[in-house]
Amino acid sequence: MLREIWKHRAVYAAISPFYLLFGIFGLFPIGFSLYLAFHKWDGIGDMTYNGWGNFRYLVTDNEFWQAVGNTFAIWVYSTIPMLFFALIIAFLLYAPFVKMRTLWRVGFFLPNVTSIVAVAIIFGALFANNFGFLNYLLQLLGLPTIQWLNVPWGIQIAISSMVVWRWTGYNAIIYLAGLQSIPHVLYEAAKMDGATGAQAFFRITIPMLRPVILFTVITSTIGGMQLFTEPQVLVGNDGGAGASGMTIVLYLYRESFVNNYFGYGAAVGWGMFLIIALFSIVNWKLVQGKK
């Protein structure tokens, strides 16, 4: 085998940067974080072995479980509307009656390339308690204002809306690709058999899109579990009022880089890994259906 590698050394050399960089910046940190999870470390001084201490602390840590709860809430508030809108947008983009499709596609994708920090600042101005744009609109309509950033669901809706704004177009493009891969003959055959548009949608489009939907559900699960910048910029390192915007990664960041519990931060990271893995499996089962 080594001789085979040597024979194709130029090719292996060509692909080696990825593996080298992955080894240095991917594999090593993963291994190190596992090592770190079993130690106490303030980031500068000596590490001391802590056994399962960090994990024991983790399972009894109210703030961690609150962060898990918050993350799930935000995930639900964002993923369901996001994927729903994305599907509708994809369907429209694919529809023959829409003109200037490329322009629309670019337009829907554009939010995805905007800096999250900028987005969070704008959304902060929209949802601000006293001088926010949304409350200004509510006042114009003669409605009572809402202290968006003081109530748990308000903070979570604000963060979710950022996610929805940013990722709907992205998912729509993926759905569009999925739609384009469905053979036309299926629709033609359905038409000949007298199927309505709705029937074609639910009996052909959705089942054929299932793998794509599964893909978007899993990527948005991972993305949703890793939510960080949006809450950090919107409500700060402490997750805002009542820590309702405290997500798992924000908690990891605060414990490590603000409070200097690097060992514990690593343990939080591994806790999060387990949760994402479990959750992805559950999603897989749900979306795969009975098969």
Task: Please state the closest distance from residue 186 (CB atom) to another protein, in A.
Answer: 46
Per CB under 8 A, 15 contacts another protein: no
Q: Which is nearer to another protein, 241 or 275 (CB)?
A: 241
- The three-state (H, E, C) secondary structure of the chain, written as one string: CHHHHHHCHHHHHHHHHHHHHHHHHHHHHHHHHHHHHCEECCCCCCCEECCCHHHHHHHCCHHHHHHHHHHHHHHHHHHHHHHHHHHHHHHHHHCCCCCCHHHHHHHHHHHHHCCHHHHHHHHHHHHCCCCCHHHHHHHHCCCCCCCCCCCHHHHHHHHHHHHHHHHHHHHHHHHHHHHHCCCHHHHHHHHHCCCCHHHHHHHHHHHHHHHHHHHHHHHHHHHHHCCCHHHHHHHCCCCCHHHCCCCHHHHHHHHHHHCCCHHHHHHHHHHHHHHHHHHHHHHHHHHHCCC
- The answer to the question of residue 10 lying near another protein (CB under 8 A) is yes
Query: CB of residue 30 vs another protein: minimum separation in angstroms?
Result: 18
**In contact, 162 and 127? CB cutoff 8 Å:** no
Question: For another protein, what does the binding mask look like between residues 29 and 48, x meaning CB under 8 A?
Answer: -----------x-xxxx---
Contacting residues for 172 by C-beta, under 8 A, at least 6 apart = 85, 86, 87, 89, 90, 93, 108
Q: For the CB of residue 237, give the shortest distance to another protein in the complex, in Å.
A: 9
Site string for another protein, 143-182 (x = CB under 8 A): ----x--xx-------------------------------
170 or 261, CB closer to another protein? 261
Q: 34, 116, 126, 128: which one contacts another protein (CB under 8 A)?
A: 128
Residues that contact another protein, how many (by CB under 8 A): 32
DSSP string, 111-136: GGGS-HHHHHHHHHHHH-TTT-HHHH
Binding mask 46-65 for another protein (x = CB under 8 A): -------x---x--------
Q: For residues 251-270, which are near another protein according to CB under 8 A?
A: 257-261, 264
Smallest separation, CB 233 to another protein (Å): 11
Q: Could you say which residues in the range 80-109 bind another protein, by CB under 8 A?
A: none
From 6-14, 112-120, 176-184, 191-199, span contacting another protein (CB under 8 A): 6-14
Q: Is the Cβ of residue 212 or residue 267 nearer to another protein in the bound state?
A: 267
| 192 sits near another protein (criterion: CB under 8 A) | no
Could you say whether residue 242 binds another protein (CB under 8 A)? yes
> What's the closest the beta carbon of residue 247 comes to another protein, in angstroms?
16
Answer yes or no: are the C-beta atoms of 93 and 101 closer than 8 Å.
yes
Binding positions for another protein, rule: CB under 8 A: 10, 13-14, 16-17, 21, 40, 42-45, 53, 57, 124-125, 128-131, 147, 150-151, 238, 241-243, 257-261, 264
